[in-house]
Amino acid sequence: MPRLRKPAPKAAAKAPARLMAWTAFWVFLLDQATKWVVVHWMDLIRLQAIELLPPVVNLRMAWNRGVNFGLLAGLDMRWVLVGVAIAISALVAVWVHRERLGARAHLSAGLLIGGALGNVVDRVLYGAVADFLNLSWWGWDNPYSFNVADISIFLGALGLVLFAGGGKGRASRPKAARTG
């Protein structure tokens, strides 16, 4: 006879959703704080470049009006990209919550959502995303810059790919009882 599980307390059921919300909040805050410090307080907007640990870690001001690596930057897609980022964030939050995915998936969703919303604020305020982190190597001058939001979006998407299949909701079904 199969065992019946006790329903989880409501607080335990809300814990992953809170993890997602808190992760998104702190990623958003960290992203916006680093942008303000580097772009305005350190005056990268005027200086355009600051060497931190040359030649590996540098700050280089870049305004990304397009998508990844500046693709489609020549098109005026500001409001389209704002709408897409908000829609994807909402869809990810609803999907992760409905599927009752585990804590790692909720953490990953929070990373993605917080990063996406950080870049949304840039597009609304500046018309472009403020990118400033540049990693190069001896003999290789990387032409691209990125920010905390970009790192979070990448890690969040990767985490969702890796951890979304291990949920306890509709995505995974209990194994059928073996008969002998």
- Kindly name the residue from 76, 122, 131, 141 that is annotated as catalytic: 131
Round to whole Å and give the CA distance between 123 and 129. 6
Assess whether 122 carries a catalytic annotation.
no
- Kindly name the residue from 43, 76, 122, 150 that is annotated as catalytic: 150
The 3-class SS string of 9-76 reads: CHHHHHHHHHHHHHHHHHHHHHHHHHHHHHHHHCCHHHHCEEEEECCCEEEEEEEECCCHHHCCCCCC
Round to whole Å and give the CA distance between 36 and 13. 36
Give yes or no for a contact between 100 and 17, defined as CB atoms under 8 angstroms apart: no
DSSP, collapsed to helix, strand or coil, labels residue 127 as coil
Cis peptide before 55 (omega within 30 of 0): yes
Assess whether 76 carries a catalytic annotation.
no
Phi, psi of 31 (to 5 degrees): -60, -50
Give yes or no for a contact between 110 and 20, defined as CB atoms under 8 angstroms apart: yes
- Catalytic positions, please? 131, 150
